[in-house]
Amino acid sequence: MAKISAIEYYFPENRVYNDQENKLTKKIGIFSKYKARKDETALDLAVKAAEKLFEKGVCKKEEIDFLLFCTQAPDYILPTSACIIQNKLKMSNNCGALDINLGCSGFIYGLSLAKGLIKSNQAKSVLLLTADTYSKFVNEKDLSTSLLFGDAAAATLITKSNEDYIGKFVFGTDGSGANNLIIKAGAAREPINSDTVMEFEDERGIIRNKKDLYMNGPEVFKFAMREVPKSIKTLLEIENRTLDDYDYFVFHQANQYMLNALRRRLEIDENKFSIQLNDCGNTVSSTIPIALKREIEKGNIKDNDNVLLAGFGVGLSWASCSIKINLN
């Protein structure tokens, strides 16, 4: 049995602001976000988040049995970034370390892996790090992405417990939608060359090149509206619960417009629904732990509260789960 014992998060020092009068800015509800330095990577942010967690004294580094690092912005093709983090944090050599290449649903996938390691007695304490630096992939001329994504990292400690505070999971994948959120060039399928760095205007009037992040916003929106409610319905069925059994809802913080559309579709009370992105943007795999931490600090989520989590995005991939808060 397992529980979330602590969460910390970290933003880069550089904060940038969207045009406050822009109609799209107001629609998505993101007014500022954080941007990593040119020499600062997702790995660096993850180390800072983990250091914050260890400084709180919630556990000792040598007590961590497994390190999971969820990112889509690794330092190298190889070695695994988690191995480098283990060394930078001076963690035990007996600690397992693994990268997860997943985006907006990555936190829930990582939470599931952590629970599995603990329930199978392979670990007692798991450190789940999430970090991304999408700013390095975004073309500033492409407002469909440049207004949305912020850089950040989160560190979540999952530990063995007497009661199971992490409930059941529902996962989903639709790889046929992979091209709706993609960076075409830069890996084995299409290496970077002189053609891939040439800017062009696509059929939707978006200026970018093939090594920039591309997002088909309308298709991603339709995907979320189609799959997230179905995922939550399935979760409710296997948990034998209704939405009224949950005290709070924390979804992937994609953008305010999409979140409110999902909330209305599911008929969730806005006073029980987290929106924590106005000042930091869509931080990909870190949005859920950041929102969880903030809602707990504000007192909106309390001890013993039942919380429903839902992540969705690049892949296309989605996941949902139930957790119970234990602040002791």
The pLDDT assigned to 117 comes to: 98
Question: For residue 188, what are the contacts with CB-CB under 8 A and spacing of at least 6?
Answer: none
Give 296-315 pLDDT, tens digit per residue.
Answer: 999 999 999 999 999 999 99
* Residues counted in the chain: 328
Cα gap 185→177, rounded to integer Å: 17
Nearest to 169, CA basis, from 105, 224, 226, 122: 105
- Catalytic member of 18, 70, 252, 321: 252
The pLDDT assigned to 202 comes to: 79
User: Domains plus CATH for the chain?
Assistant: 2-164 (3.40.47.10), 168-175+215-324 (3.40.47.10)
**Is 252 tagged catalytic?**
yes
Cβ atoms < 10 Å from Cβ of 151: 30
Higher per-residue pLDDT: 322 or 24 = 322
**For residue 33, how far is the Cα from the chain centroid?**
15
The pLDDT assigned to 194 comes to: 81
| pLDDT of 211 higher than 90 | no
Average pLDDT score over residue span 155-180 = 96
Question: Of 29-38, 126-135, 140-149, which range is least confident?
Answer: 140-149
Torsion of CA 98, 101, 103, 105, to 10 degrees: -60
Average pLDDT score over residue span 272-294 = 98
Instruction: Tell me the pLDDT band of 209, cut-offs 50, 70 and 90.
Output: confident
**Is 18 tagged catalytic?**
no
Give 212-244 pLDDT, tens digit per residue.
Answer: 899 999 999 999 999 999 999 999 999 999 999
Give 171-207 pLDDT, tens digit per residue.
Answer: 999 999 999 999 998 888 989 888 888 888 777 777 7
The pLDDT assigned to 53 comes to: 97
Cβ atoms < 10 Å from Cβ of 162: 7
The pLDDT assigned to 221 comes to: 97
Average pLDDT score over residue span 25-41 = 97
The dihedral sign for the CA sequence 316, 309, 251, 285: negative
Place of tokens 């529902």: 170
- Catalytic member of 18, 70, 95, 104: 104
- Is residue 64 a contact partner of residue 156, using CB atoms and an 8 Å limit? no
Place of tokens 């298709």: 219
The pLDDT assigned to 115 comes to: 98
Question: Of 1-5, 137-141, 226-230, which range is least confident?
Answer: 137-141
- Catalytic member of 139, 216, 282, 321: 282
Cα gap 108→106, rounded to integer Å: 5
**Is 104 tagged catalytic?**
yes
Instruction: Tell me the pLDDT band of 317, cut-offs 50, 70 and 90.
Output: very high
pTM of the model: 0.96
Q: Over the chain, what is the mean pLDDT?
A: 95
Give 242-261 pLDDT, tens digit per residue.
Answer: 999 999 999 999 999 999 99
**For residue 219, how far is the Cα from the chain centroid?**
20
The pLDDT assigned to 205 comes to: 77
